Amino acid sequence: MIEHRNAQPWTGRGDPEDGDLALRMHHLAGRDDAGSALIGFACDAGVLRNKSNPGAAEAPPAIRGALANLAAPRQPRGFHDAGDLVVPGDDPAPGQQALAEHLAPLVARYPRVVVLGGGHETAWGSWRGLRRAMPHARIGIVNIDAHLDIRAIGPSGPSSGTPFHQIRQADPDGFDYAVLGLAEESNTEALRARARDWDVAIVEDHALQTSAEAGFDVIDALSARSDVIYLTIDLDVLPAAQAPGVSATAARGVPLHVVEGLVARTLASGKVRLADIVELCPPRDHGDRTARCAALLARRLLG
């Protein structure tokens, strides 16, 4: 049975001696002027089915903890914390259904909603929630990721490697998908051939080592033909030195400053209604380095 845990009070450092502008992210949680919302998806089932390392279920509180003491943006707005969905067992499907049901009213109420995963199976629940809230919208998907995650569903069922295959099955005519940061060595030719057949736009990690500009044309084109954007960030796109705490670390990866540039360009479209940050694995996260990267991205998405 899926458990919905209410949000816990946000706490953190205070600097009252510096006046009213000395705000940190924990001060923004629950404010009446909330312009965004977040919800956690505590699930290990998807990564376990994908033959990867468990620990993603511990990600939502780890990201909140790294986010709490970050300085608030220059023009801060509050955000609503909708708590966590806790998914027990080895089947992600009930959790994905619950995530969709919780997301739909959040998307209807707030200009942007951010999901803290979970493995990338989160995406199937995220997309379904957005589709439920906006049944007729043209949804463009920007995935910043080392992997295509379009594996066919095997005998064990859906996993963290199948969500975008599931999305295409659900909406074959509306499927519009771009992957930025793809690692050739981490995707079989079977997956790459499927991506070609499905007209998936790809920018490989080699092209994104120093600048995000190589991804701008893809982002701009997808944004122009979409009503709304679903932005999903898989932390395993980052180099292992920056993000050791993921299920599958990247030998090359895409540096954080480049990922931030891709996120900024996507947000500049004004169409991002839903975003998620997935694949953080706190038990493998030496020095909380990956959680800190996730928190920087979450701060930008909530701003």
Q: What is the pLDDT of residue 67?
A: 98
Model pTM?
Answer: 0.98
pLDDT in tens, 283-292: 999 999 999 9
Q: What is the spatial distance between Cα 109 and Cα 34, in angstroms, rounded to a whole number?
A: 10
Every domain of the chain and the residues it spans: 14-302
Instruction: Please give the mean pLDDT across all residues of the chain.
Output: 97
Please determine, for residue 303, whether its predicted confidence score (pLDDT) is greater than 90: no
- Per-residue pLDDT tens over the stretch 190-225: 999 999 999 999 999 999 999 999 999 999 999 999
Query: Does residue 122 register a pLDDT over 90?
Result: yes
pLDDT at 35: 97
CA dihedral of 216, 218, 224, 225, whole degrees rounded to 10: -170
Q: Give percent of the chain above pLDDT 70.
A: 100
Pairing of strands 201-204, 3-5: unpaired
Q: What are phi and psi of 127, to 5 degrees?
A: -60, -40
At 246-272, the pLDDT tens digits run 988 999 999 999 999 999 999 999 999
Residue range 14-302 forms a domain whose CATH class is alpha beta
pLDDT at 118: 94
pLDDT higher than threshold 90 for residue 96: yes
Band of pLDDT at residue 145, cut at 50, 70 and 90: very high
